[in-house]
Amino acid sequence: MFGRITFIMLFTVAVLAATAPADSAYISLSDPTWTAEDYSGSQIEGSFSVHDGTAHYWRGSNGYNTLNLATGVVTNIGKPDPCNSNGYGDPMGLYDPNTNSFYAGTYVSSSQSYIYTYDCTAGTWNTGIEMVNIYGGAMSGADMYISGLREPWTGGFDCNYISKCDLSGDGYHDALIQTGGASANVAVDDAGNVFYANYDTSGPCALYKWTAGQVAGVVNDLAGGDTDTFLTLAEGEKLSDMPGGANGIVVDDAGNIFITTNAWPDSALLRWNGTAGDGDNYEIVGDNDGIAGFAWFGPLAIDGDFLAGDTLYGSYGYNGPVTGITVPEPATMCLLGIGGGLALLRRRRKK
């Protein structure tokens, strides 16, 4: 009997060692059973996408890149020629699986940004769509939602909006929500609800939700002469207060909302706990406690359900790599329980 238990224990320890959590150089997780893996060779500057085992992102220096999340191999696809960009700090690279297209957002100056579309089937770029100042973006079906300035910045924090981008190139970018404050990223769930956590340098920061119906009510036919109407923060449902200025945000397939915040020197990755209203209605997934160097928790992306074992991807250092965070699969948790139980059984036998 003892020999059989010893064998099972050794087997369990070997399996647990093989699945031991990897350490990240950029984020410290609250739950020691979760894993965090940095993908060396990748570098995230702004919003990015994950689909079917591949991360799609943009770098101002070399353009469109894909990261094979199984092998860690980065493939550079390049950028359009010419490409209007200052070469660093570009705001986003989003992949749309519905059209097999990649959208690159570039930053030229405080009053000029561009969106370039890469047709992944044909292998060709378009000539670019001009906007004022893009910070982040998210896809909702065929629609692209952009956060950023609608007017050239002249000081103050009143011209930040979430807008529906006019991908036709006619320039009718429709304002949807006036957010104010400094810029942050935007998320849209499968039902079309919009989520945003503001970054206010002079006041409180919070997480908000606007329903798909609310947003549809302010979608205007600007080309047909409609007045551009929009919602405000006050018209959104407040879900939680935030501990600092928000940056990245994503909603998974199960409706879990993840947000990154930065309140120097503290940065955090949060998950909304499902309670709406005032107060700290969130759980801390990870932070920069014990992490060396400058922390800047940035954009997030996921393809699936985090609590069901699908990986949450993000960037937790300025221009840092993609980092994947994963909860243990049920089989792994079972092994953890078996290992603990067998160790207890062995101690009892020795008495």
**Do 187 and 195 contact (CB within 8 A), yes or no?**
yes
Whether residues 4 and 30 fall in one domain:
no
Q: Is pLDDT of 17 > 50? A: no
Q: Is pLDDT of 34 > 90? A: yes
Whether residues 13 and 29 fall in one domain:
no
Whether residues 53 and 191 fall in one domain:
yes
pLDDT, mean of residues 40-64 = 96
Whether residues 351 and 294 fall in one domain:
no
User: What local confidence, expressed as pLDDT, does residue 331 receive?
Assistant: 42
Residue of 54 and 89 predicted with greater confidence: 54
C-alpha to C-alpha distance for 23 and 21, rounded to whole angstroms: 6
Whether residues 74 and 207 fall in one domain:
yes
C-alpha to C-alpha distance for 289 and 75, rounded to whole angstroms: 33
Whether residues 8 and 81 fall in one domain:
no
pLDDT, mean of residues 273-294 = 95
**Do 55 and 67 contact (CB within 8 A), yes or no?**
yes
- In 120-242, where do the E strands start and end? 124-125, 129-131, 133-140, 143-149, 160-164, 174-178, 186-188, 194-197, 206-210, 231-232, 237-241
High-pLDDT (> 70) share of the chain, %: 86
Which of 129, 123, 126, 124 is CA-nearest to residue 144? 129
Q: Tell me if the bond preceding 91 is cis, omega within 30° of 0.
A: no
Q: How confident is residue 111, by pLDDT bands cut at 50, 70 and 90?
A: confident
Which span out of 126-135, 195-204, 219-228, 233-242 was modeled with the highest average pLDDT?
Answer: 233-242
Residue 14, domain extent: 1-19+330-351
Whether residues 349 and 235 fall in one domain:
no
Q: Is pLDDT of 116 > 90? A: yes
**Do 172 and 220 contact (CB within 8 A), yes or no?**
no
User: What local confidence, expressed as pLDDT, does residue 342 receive?
Assistant: 35
Which span out of 85-99, 248-262, 282-296 was modeled with the highest average pLDDT?
Answer: 248-262
pLDDT tens, 69-100?
Answer: 999 999 999 999 999 998 888 999 999 999 99
User: What local confidence, expressed as pLDDT, does residue 155 receive?
Assistant: 66
Q: How confident is residue 159, by pLDDT bands cut at 50, 70 and 90?
A: confident
pLDDT, mean of residues 246-271 = 96
Sign of CA dihedral 58, 267, 193, 54: positive
Q: Is pLDDT of 15 > 50? A: no
C-alpha to C-alpha distance for 145 and 136, rounded to whole angstroms: 8
Global pTM reads 0.88
pLDDT tens, 179-222?
Answer: 988 899 999 999 999 999 999 877 789 999 999 999 999 999 88
Residue of 298 and 87 predicted with greater confidence: 298
Distance of CA 136 to the CA centre of its chain: 10
Whether residues 4 and 135 fall in one domain:
no
Mean pLDDT across the chain, nearest whole number?
A: 87
Residue 8's CB is within 10 A of a number of other CB atoms, namely: 13
Q: How confident is residue 156, by pLDDT bands cut at 50, 70 and 90?
A: low
Whether residues 232 and 134 fall in one domain:
yes
pLDDT, mean of residues 101-121 = 95
C-alpha to C-alpha distance for 288 and 293, rounded to whole angstroms: 9
High-pLDDT (> 90) share of the chain, %: 72
341 contacts: CB under 8 Å, gap ≥ 6: none
Whether residues 210 and 349 fall in one domain:
no
Q: Give the CATH number of the domain where residue 33 resides.
A: 2.120.10.30
Whether residues 343 and 289 fall in one domain:
no
Class of residue 70 by CB neighbours under 10 A (exposed 0-12, middle 13-18, buried 19+)? exposed
Question: For the chain, what is the domain count?
Answer: 2
Whether residues 157 and 254 fall in one domain:
yes
